[in-house]
Structure 1
Amino acid sequence: MIWVTWRQHRAGMAVLAAVFLGAAGIFLLADALGATAQVVFDAQSGFAELVRIGEQIGAIRLLPLLIGVFVGAPLVSREVEQRTCRYSWTQGVSRIRWLSTKVLLLGAVVLLLSAVYTAVHMWWFEPVAGQQGWFTIYNQAGVVFPAYCLFSFALGVAVGTVVKQSVAAMAITLVGSAAAMIGMWVLRRGFAEPVTVSAPAGSSTVDEMAQGGHIMSFGSGAEISYVTFHPAERFWPFQFTEASIVLALTLFALALAFWWLRRKLS
């Protein structure tokens, strides 16, 4: 069953590898060409500026959505539409084993590749982490990024199992994954009470205290400046809290997929 699954999905896994490793390779190439993080965040032209713009846009944060849409959603729905799954079920392979093999193999690939990308990205960013702050790349670093990749994949599998139509499953997965990410962004703001500091206008105290943290609001008047932020040391507690919630949602989605496949799918 593992060999069959590998042959069936090897093209998709190759595309995943190309995307993740290509994204990681940009940072390796940038470092080799002298576009280190220190250089990039001060760059005004050339390749270093392109890397800086890419960091600021953070397009890679959309990758979990694409994984859910193009890898997770069709995993079951396409086979149900084409009725190819029934051949496996009549060859002594149970439904649970059939889905387990697919989920474990593709899920492991998603987790491994997303973790590699995250490790390379954080290695490249580390020299400026004290100045820019890890919160700058929060959604593309730590344990949150791999967690979202797995969640979108699992959500796609669950939606595809229930809906059974590939196009509809892909659309629902896209909306659902995006809604979950936005919802977690809102929830994240309440993981801890933000800190507010103030100082006389023109003083550098406010900037120094907020450096490296996640700034939520700031302002200044004729006599005083203030900033509300989450301190830099909250990065990892926030990461593990959010990843735990996302992984719980992942397990729920997979449980739904397996239950529906066994009880409801005909």
Structure 2
Amino acid sequence: MSTTTLTPVPPHAARPIPWQRLAWVSWRRQRTMILTTLALLGLVAIYLLVTGLRMRSAWNTVNACTPRQSRACNFEWNNFHDRYSNPGIISAVFLFAPLLIGAFAGAPLIGRELETGTFRYAWTQGVGRLRWAIALLVPGAVVVAVLTGAFGALVSWHDHPLWDADVTARLGANEFPTTGIAVVGWSLLAYAVGVLAGFLWRRTLPALATALASGFGLALAASRFRFHYLAPLKTKSLDFVPGSQTIQQWWEKAGAVVSNSDLNATLQSAGVQQVNIGGGGKTTPTTPGDGTDPVTYLLHHGYTQWTSYQPGSRYWTFQWIEFGWLTALAVVLLAATFWLIRRRDA
């Protein structure tokens, strides 16, 4: 009698789930956030388009007016300045918008999984937790970058007449982070902080608060050291450079810095008054009733007024610098999140 030897069939290796299907799952999870953000940004876009077109029309009227020093032209300029130089509370909304978009998008992605316990299902379905995290977080970062990039481009278009009129400086603390490409960096940073905080807190609301608080604190610090990305320029010209951001003003005599008290003593001895109007040594003398000009007096007596500033021509250089370090920090935080997810027990 013959015997038949059965050869064991090698187990069939399971094929990994295609990235396209993972992307579809990611879309299903994030579509509510994406559609809600698009709706809100659509309302903001309508507002910016309407007011931007009105502003451009008013600015074109100012530019077309001749002669420039006439009463009619001065009226048009004053009307344009008074109407558009103070945007009000909407400026604060635009300033915080990138951080809000990034934080609200990033905080729930992992924090909600851990809070509800659904990570036990998501991490054990053969996808692999790292592939699952990449499919979840990378598309979210791309969407945040695209949305805030479009927002920043629209704000730049809206504010361009204010830049041309030198009503608003592009390097200003309220203008710079919401325009150009830096706005993308701020949203990505808030997104990355929200994702990592969601993993560490295992809750959505604490992660959201952490992302917003961290973003606001870092934005405040950046508003102070941003003007030192490159060495400031110095000038002793009394003419303000259009489009530039003044950093500091001070007076010197014989190459030595003169304090405000010494300036006051010098001016008072000549019967001239001076008023200190701000920090950083910035002073503005005022003319008394006898007609003596304080600035002219100081200049004629060996004093020199210096101003340090950043020229408006460095706007895009500073934009790329800020975008670079913000994006690099966001990448480090996301990489840390991936590493922690891979090491965490399901």
Distance across 2 between alignment mates of 1:129 and 1:194: 20
Distance across 1 between alignment mates of 2:318 and 2:201: 34
- Whether 2:34 is the aligned partner of 1:13: answer yes
Task: Tell me which residue corresponds to 1:249.
Answer: 329
- Whether 2:331 is the aligned partner of 1:260: answer no
Please state whether the residue corresponding to 1:229 is helix, strand or coil: strand
Distance across 2 between alignment mates of 1:89 and 1:181: 35
Distance across 2 between alignment mates of 1:118 and 1:68: 14
Please state whether the residue corresponding to 1:134 is helix, strand or coil: coil
Partner of residue 132 from structure 2, selected from 77, 92, 98: 98
Q: Retained in 2: the 8 A contact 1:38–1:128?
A: no
Q: Computing the radius of gyration over CA atoms, which structure comes out larger, 1 or 2?
A: 2
Question: Which aligned runs of 4 or more in structure 1 are off by greater than 4 angstroms?
Answer: 37-41
Alignment of 1:69-218 (within 5 A): 69-132=103-166, 133-136=169-172, 137-199=175-237, 205-207=238-240, 210-218=241-249
Distance across 1 between alignment mates of 2:154 and 2:212: 27
- Aligned CA distance change for structure 1 residues 80 and 31 (closer, same or farther; 3 Å): same
- Aligned CA distance change for structure 1 residues 106 and 38 (closer, same or farther; 3 Å): farther
Report the CA distance between 1:248 and its aligned residue.
0.9
Q: Retained in 2: the 8 A contact 1:37–1:127?
A: no
RMSD: 2.5
Count of residues paired in the alignment: 254
Partner of residue 56 from structure 2, selected from 33, 36, 54: 36
Task: Tell me which residue corresponds to 2:255.
Answer: none
Report the CA distance between 1:79 and its aligned residue.
0.8
Report the CA distance between 1:63 and its aligned residue.
1.7
Please state whether the residue corresponding to 1:220 is helix, strand or coil: strand
Deviations 1:87-110 (A, max 9, x none): 222222111111111212221111
TM-score under structure 2 length normalisation:
0.67
Task: Tell me which residue corresponds to 1:202.
Answer: none
Please state whether the residue corresponding to 2:88 is helix, strand or coil: helix
TM-score under structure 1 length normalisation:
0.85
Gap regions ≥5 residues in structure 2: 1-21, 60-76, 250-282, 286-293, 300-304
Gap regions ≥5 residues in structure 1: 200-204
Please state whether the residue corresponding to 1:36 is helix, strand or coil: helix
Report the CA distance between 1:234 and its aligned residue.
1.3
- Aligned CA distance change for structure 1 residues 78 and 244 (closer, same or farther; 3 Å): same
Distance across 2 between alignment mates of 1:31 and 1:61: 17
- Aligned CA distance change for structure 1 residues 162 and 15 (closer, same or farther; 3 Å): same
Identity %: 25
Distance across 2 between alignment mates of 1:162 and 1:63: 24
Alignment of 1:44-55 (within 5 A): 44=82, 52-53=87-88
Distance across 1 between alignment mates of 2:154 and 2:230: 29
Task: Tell me which residue corresponds to 2:12.
Answer: none
- Aligned CA distance change for structure 1 residues 134 and 104 (closer, same or farther; 3 Å): same
Partner of residue 312 from structure 2, selected from 232, 241, 247: 232
Read off the aligned partner of 1:135 and give its amino acid letter.
Answer: L
